């Protein structure tokens, strides 16, 4: 994904990273030249073009002082220390394995929707929890955990193959996975068939439908 930057390109990128706050507004090529010890805008511009190609910075055509880091670039450096964002890792559709997304992205999440423990985000496909207000296309925030109390909503892996989001009821010789959709039936398993991968702690939905 990240094609190798040349030495100078990396240098320019690092400089932009480290100084993104220091500039009240993005620098001009000339200013950047001065910082990097160059005498020619043209030379610098080549490096800028390379970084744009790599999707690390964006610079609206001809716009002055338009150089900005891409969200993509910010993620690369931020999410490690940014405790408010959680990784969006995949799509869960009842009866299938979790479909991992190609590029993990990070979403800012309010404190109220997560827990102290590690959490991650899935997108829900299907209507099996519709009566709990979890709709097709919603995001859910999942606390990573391998156990659950009865009545919690869990991400369960069945027979090490299919993942699903359901209410759980665990009894000595039986585990029930119960959808919140009266058109669907509860499913009965032996406890060892069901592996809990996480517990639902939050849910989100966009009404602007571009996702």
Partner DNA sequence: CTTCCTTGTTCTTTATTTGTTCTCGTGCTA
Partner DNA sequence: TAGCACGAGAACAAATAAAGAACAAGGAAG
Positions annotated as catalytic residues are 128, 166
Angle at 109 between CA 106 and CA 110, to 5 degrees: 165
Q: Is 200 in the site for its own copies (CB under 8 A)?
A: yes
Tokens representing 150 are 């009865």
Under 8 Å between Cβ of 158 and 197: no
Q: Which residue is associated with the tokens 């009240």?
A: 24
Query: CA-based angle 179:175:131, to the nearest 5?
Result: 15
Buried b (16+ CB within 10 A) or exposed e, 127-162: bbbbeeebeeebbbbbbebeebeeebbbbbbbeeee
Which stretch of DSSP H or E encloses residue 90?
strand 85-93
Q: Which residue is associated with the tokens 């490096």?
A: 47
Nearer residue to DNA within complex by CB, 64 or 78: 64
| Footprint of its own copies on 54-113 (CB under 8 A) | 60, 63-66, 71, 84-85, 107-113
Stretch that binds DNA, among 63-71, 72-80, 114-122, 180-188 (CB under 7 A): 63-71
Q: Does 61 bind DNA (CB under 7 A)?
A: yes
Binder among 19, 53, 55, 64 for DNA (CB under 7 A)? 64
Candidates 7, 22, 39, 173; binder of its own copies (CB under 8 A) is 7
- Tokens, residue 93: 């559709």
38 touching DNA, by CB under 7 A: yes
**What is the DSSP-derived secondary structure letter of residue 64?**
T
Using the contact rule CB under 8 A, the part of the chain among 92-100, 134-142, 168-176, 185-193 near its own copies is 134-142
Task: Work out how close the CB of 66 gets to its own copies at its nearest, in angstroms, rounded to a whole number.
Answer: 7
- In the region spanning residues 67 to 126, those forming contacts with DNA, defined by CB under 7 A, are 67
Interface with DNA (CB under 7 A) = 4, 6-9, 28-30, 38-43, 45-49, 59, 61-67
Interface with its own copies (CB under 8 A) = 4-7, 10, 14, 24-25, 60, 63-66, 71, 84-85, 107-113, 115, 130, 133-135, 138-139, 153, 200-208, 211
């Amino acid at each position: 994904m990240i094609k190798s930057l040349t030495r100078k390109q990396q240098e320019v990128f690092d400089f932009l990273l480290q100084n993104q706050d220091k500039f009240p507004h993005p620098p001009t090529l000339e200013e950047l030249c001065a910082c990097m010890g160059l005498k020619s805008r043209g030379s610098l511009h080549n490096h800028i073009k390379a970084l744009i190609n790599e999707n690390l910075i964006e610079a609206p055509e001809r716009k002055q002082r338009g150089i900005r880091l891409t969200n993509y670039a910010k993620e690369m450096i931020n999410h490690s220390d940014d405790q408010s964002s959680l990784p969006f890792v995949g799509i869960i559709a009842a009866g299938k394995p979790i479909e991992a997304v190609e590029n993990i992205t990070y979403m800012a999440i309010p404190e109220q929707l997560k827990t102290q423990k590690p959490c991650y985000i899935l997108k829900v496909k299907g209507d099996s929890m519709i009566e709990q207000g979890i709709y097709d296309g919603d995001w859910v925030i999942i606390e990573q955990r391998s156990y659950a109390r009865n009545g919690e909503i869990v991400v369960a892996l069945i027979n090490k193959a299919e993942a699903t989001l359901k209410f759980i009821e665990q009894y000595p010789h039986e585990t029930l996975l119960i959808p919140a959709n009266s058109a669907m039936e509860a499913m009965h398993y032996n406890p060892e068939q069901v592996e809990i991968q996480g517990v639902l702690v939050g849910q989100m939905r966009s009404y602007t439908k571009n996702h």
